A and B are shown apart, each in its own frame.
Chain A
Amino acid sequence: MAQDVRDDIRSFIAAKFPGMSFTDDEDIFALGFVNSLFAMELVMFIEKTFGTKIPNEELRLENFRTVVLMAELVQRRAEAAESGAVT
């Protein structure tokens, strides 16, 4: 599952920035091609694609800096949903 999640997130970002190359653990904000408008699109994409609502305490830039960190966030949300926590 984790790999699929990473693939989905990477494809989403790559489609937005054709021609830019980045690895799964590179900080996409530090690379300079991600701005606040795109951060909002990322949150909307993740919530819609993976059927989760990211709680306020997880809405931190640190969770969206790399593909790996975003996939880990999705994983945490899935685990929270399974354990019956509020999604």
Chain B
Amino acid sequence: MTKVGVVGAGVMGTGVAQNLATSGHEVTLVDVDGATLSAALDRIGLECRMSRMLGGPELDADAVLARIGTGTELETLAESAVVIENITENWDLKARLYPRLDAACKDSTVFVVNTSAIPITKLAACTGRPDRVMGVHFMNPVPMKSACEFIPGYHTSEATKDTVRALLESMGKKPIPVNDASGFVSNRVLMLTVNEAAFLVHEGVADAATVDEVFRECFGHPMGPLETADLIGVDTILYSVEVLYEEFNDSKYRPCPLLKQMTAAGLHGRKSGKGFHSYSHA
């Protein structure tokens, strides 16, 4: 059992907290918004109750929730051995958070950056402990995915890698090591695919349902790229594409204007009830 702090109670942070707690770890989930924390606990409770129905193991929701404490201040993470950060995929927000985390946690605490595109070395430089910062790109939904990208930064120590690898394996994850570059392997390819799919809709070449149909019916993918975008979050897709654009300064990563408009309009996908497809409750 490890004391693990989880920062950010959005889709990813909630999944990480659930996965940790069901694996027997003691979790402190921190978010600036109390209502977000309460929604996260509701979600985790429901996921645990439904686990067996969806083909997973039978889980005791009360026991899992008993292993999760919550807080709105970073200071509640002071005693965590590992802190997994899952806040919005935005450089400015993450860069502001890390010096505060650095001050709030004990010296030995290892920081895990859960990011889909931001270089780990660059974020590690925002702390006074770059040897104790490790990147992990978790996949969504976290408790159901059996692998993740495992990304050491330039200064990450072997001891830090060992700590994080052991934690991931205890969560049932296979860490796949890749080197530190914006977007790593997965999102360098996936985000461009989703961005280009959005351009197809934007230009009227095909509607969202048709784009997804081509990928499902012709390629046998379980989900089309725009259904995937709705699952990940349209806003998160935009932020990731923007990060790739900023990091590589290559116009092939220019974000589709439709992604910007949908993000501004609150059409963020499944989590908001509407994205490229509609999920609104009747």
Contacts and interface: CB of A to CB of B under 8 A. Distances in A.
Interface string B51-87: 0111100000000000000000000000000000000
Given A36-B54, A37-B270, A39-B54, A56 B49 contact: yes
B282 interface: yes
Contact of A15 (B46, B52, B282): B282
B175 to A, nearest CB: 25
A40 B47 contact: yes
A17 to B, nearest CB: 10
A40 B55 CA distance: 13
Given A15-B282, A16-B279, A37-B270, A44 B46 contact: yes
B63 to A, nearest CB: 13
Interface in B250-282: 270, 278-282
B50 interface: yes
Given A39-B53, A59-B53, A61-B53, A18 B278 contact: yes
A12 interface: yes
Contacts of B270: 37
Nearest to B56: A36
A87 interface: no
B62 to A, nearest CB: 11
Interface of A: 8, 11-12, 14-16, 18, 36-37, 39-41, 43-45, 56, 59-61
Given A12-B282, A14-B282, A39-B50, 4 more contacts: A18-B278, A41-B281, A43-B46, A44-B46
